[in-house]
Amino acid sequence: MSDTQTLNRDLTLEALFEAGLFIDTGTAGLHGRSGAFEAVVNGLEALITHPADGAEVMRFPPAMGRKHFAKSGYFKNFPHLSGCVHSFCGTEKDHAGVLKAMNNGEAWGEDFAPTEVVLTPAACYPLYPMTAARGPLPHDGALYDVQSFCFRHEPSQDPGRLQMFRQREYVRIGTAEQVLAFRALWLTRSQAMMQSLDLPHTVDVANDPFFGRAGKLMAASQREHELKFELLAPIASSDNPTACVSFNYHQQYFGLNWGIVTEDGAPAHTACVGFGLERTALALMRRHGLKPASWPVAVKDHLQL
C-alpha cells in the first residue's frame, strides 16, 4: 500500500498488523505495539503534560485492591466491563487436573480463587481513596497527573476498542467552581492540541455505558446534566467517530463515596480529563497514514518524532 492510499482510510486491525504498528497476540483487544506506535504515544504524552499546572504526578500499578474496587461503585454501574484476578489455590491433585484439562484443550479455572487484586477500570480510580486518607483538601484543592493501563472486558475486532489500554488523566478535586474551570480549560486545550496535530475532530455530550435498565436512566441523566463530554475522531469508521478523550464531571459522587472533603468540610467535587493514548495514536494513523515517518513535518515536530 502506498502512503497516499493509507491517508484518511478507515483503520482495520489487519492493516495495523500488516503495517507492524499492532502485534497480533491472538486475543481480541490485547495487542502488542511497535516502537513506531509507542513513539507516537510518547509524543502525545509530552503534549498532554503541563508542568506549570503543578499537578502531583502519580503512577499506580494497573490493579487495585478488592476492597477499594468494591467501594468505588464501579461494579454497580459497569459489572459487564469488570475484571478480577483469580489465582490457583488447589492441591497437587487439582494441579494435575488443570494441567490435563489444559493439555486436552478443555475448560479450566474452577480451582482458581479470587485474589485481593482487581484490574483497574479507569486511571483515576486509585486516587480517590488515597486522597480521602490524606484528610481535608487544602484551600486550592488537589490536582493529579496519572497514567495507567486499564482493563475493560469488551473484546472486539474494532482496532480502537481494546481490553487493555492506557489512559493518561489529569484529575481535579475541590469545589464545583474549581473542577468545572478545570474541565473547561481541558476542553479548550485538548482541541488546540488536536488542531496542532491536524486531526479533525468533534466534541459532543456523551454518556457512560451504564449496565441494565436502571443504567438507561443514569445515562440519560448524565447527558441531561452535561456531566460527560467526549472528543471524537474517526478510527474504524468515518460515520461513527471514536471517543479519544473524555471530560468527566462526577459532581460529589466520589467526594461523598470516599469521604473526600474540602477545607470547610463539604464533600468535594471531582472532574477528570482522560486521554485514550492508543485511540488518539490510532486516530492520527487513520488521518496521516500508517507510516509515522512520512507524516507532515509539522505534525512530526509536535510529536518529537
- Determine which residue in the list 47, 64, 118, 162 makes contact with ligand AMP, applying CB under 6 A: 162
Q: Cβ closer to ligand AMP: 235 or 268?
A: 235
- Determine which residue in the list 6, 222, 246, 262 makes contact with ligand AMP, applying CB under 6 A: 246
- Determine which residue in the list 22, 125, 128, 165 makes contact with ligand AMP, applying CB under 6 A: 165
Tell me which of Zn ion, ligand AMP, none is bound by residue 124, counting a contact when its beta carbon lies within the kind-specific cut-off of 5 to 8 angstroms.
Zn ion
Is the CB of residue 183 less than 8 Å from the CB of residue 35? Answer: no
Task: Mark 264-283 with x for binding to ligand AMP (rule: CB under 6 A) and - for no binding.
Answer: ----------x-x-xx----
Tell me which of ligand AMP, Zn ion, none is bound by residue 276, counting a contact when its beta carbon lies within the kind-specific cut-off of 5 to 8 angstroms.
ligand AMP
Q: How many residues does the chain have?
A: 305
Task: Check residue 31 for interaction with ligand AMP (CB under 6 A).
Answer: no
Tell me which of Zn ion, ligand AMP, none is bound by residue 165, counting a contact when its beta carbon lies within the kind-specific cut-off of 5 to 8 angstroms.
ligand AMP
Binding range to ligand AMP, per CB under 6 A, among 66-74, 136-144, 243-251, 285-293: 243-251
Task: Check residue 186 for interaction with ligand AMP (CB under 6 A).
Answer: no
Q: Least distance from C-beta 8 to ligand AMP, angstroms?
A: 20
Task: Mark 214-233 with x for binding to ligand AMP (rule: CB under 6 A) and - for no binding.
Answer: ----------------x---
Q: Cβ closer to ligand AMP: 227 or 262?
A: 227
Task: Check residue 167 for interaction with ligand AMP (CB under 6 A).
Answer: yes
- The owner of cell 479470587 is 114
Q: Least distance from C-beta 245 to ligand AMP, angstroms?
A: 5
Report d(CA 168, CA 212) in Å as an integer: 28
Is the CB of residue 274 less than 8 Å from the CB of residue 123? Answer: yes
Q: Least distance from C-beta 233 to ligand AMP, angstroms?
A: 10
Q: Cβ closer to ligand AMP: 19 or 283?
A: 283
Task: Check residue 152 for interaction with ligand AMP (CB under 6 A).
Answer: yes
Binding range to ligand AMP, per CB under 6 A, among 15-23, 83-91, 162-170, 186-194: 162-170
Label each residue of the chain as H, E or C: CCHHHHCCCCCCHHHHHHHCCEECCCCCCCCEECHHHHHHHHHHHHHHCCHHHCCEEECCCCEEEHHHHHHHCHHHHCHHHCCEEEEECCCHHHHHHHHHHHHCCCCCCCCEEEEEEEECCCCCCCHHHHHHHCCCCCCCCEEEEEEEEEECCCCCCCCCCCCEEEEEEEEEEECHHHHHHHHHHHHHHHHHHHHHCCCCCEEEECCCCCCHHHHHHHHHHHHHCCCEEEEEECCCCCCCCEEEEEEEEEECHHHHHHCCECCCCCECEEEEEEEEHHHHHHHHHHHHCCCHHHCCHHHHHHCCC
Instruction: Return residues touching ligand AMP (CB under 6 A).
Output: 122, 152, 154, 160-162, 165, 167, 230, 243-246, 274, 276, 278-279
